[in-house]
Structure 1
Amino acid sequence: PEHQNLIALAHELEIAEALTFLGAIPDAEVKAEYAHADMFCLPSVQEGFGIVFLEAMAAGLPVVSTTAAAIPEVVAHGETGILIPPGDVTSIAGALLVLLSNADLREQYGQAGRERVERYDWTRVTETFLREIAPLI
């Protein structure tokens, strides 16, 4: 819903030439778009579980996000990415600069993210769920 507003803001800030606004991407093309990225940034102030973070980490991308809601349950600060307080624009910029300037750290966080995503495999999640509820049945 904010697509046009963001495009207008990019022009106002004179950064539109450096940005590409993709809009909605078909599911079949998401993986290819992640492959073009160096990192994933979603500085949410409110977020549920956040499947999008798992998708990005599965693609080997380090994550920059916030400590809002359930995000820290998925993204491990200092392990798979950098988490900052919601609304702290200066820290978001700083985190992006840290990762942009350090390819080794991007690779380290990306690999750790790939490994962390394995915890959320449907088979593994189902087995854990059934094991936890078995005593209650």
Structure 2
Amino acid sequence: MPFLTDDDRPLDELLLAQRPDDGHRFQVRAPFAYLDPVGGQRYEVPVQDAASSPGDAGDGAAGSDLASVPSALWGLIASYGRQSAPALLHDHRSAVAAGSATGGPPSRSAASTTGCSARRSASRGCRC
């Protein structure tokens, strides 16, 4: 999978913090990147500010709910696992596209395409 640590090693773990401690949002504690295998573009996912609460806007510190799974399906489908890195990439690129994260606002379609490409790479079957 084309997910890498910030020093270009294959990503073998995600360091996340649950915010608030009893909540359903997570913040990235160690940066990672996605290398698009088709276009060669590198997409960075930075560390999110632990001092910001998940509801804050402005720097993308709102965190992620990982893969949004309706609560009725929680017993069947986990919101975390192999899909966590693609979900975090998607959430960060969406924040960038909306202008609430650093990195300049690319088009929303660029964020959606990147997220779909990452999910397809992880699941080998995304039909987004």
Q: Give the TM-score, by structure 2 length.
A: 0.29
For the pair shown, the structure with the greater C-alpha radius of gyration is: 1
Task: Considering fraction of residues, name the structure with more strand.
Answer: 2
Task: Considering fraction of residues, name the structure with more helix.
Answer: 1
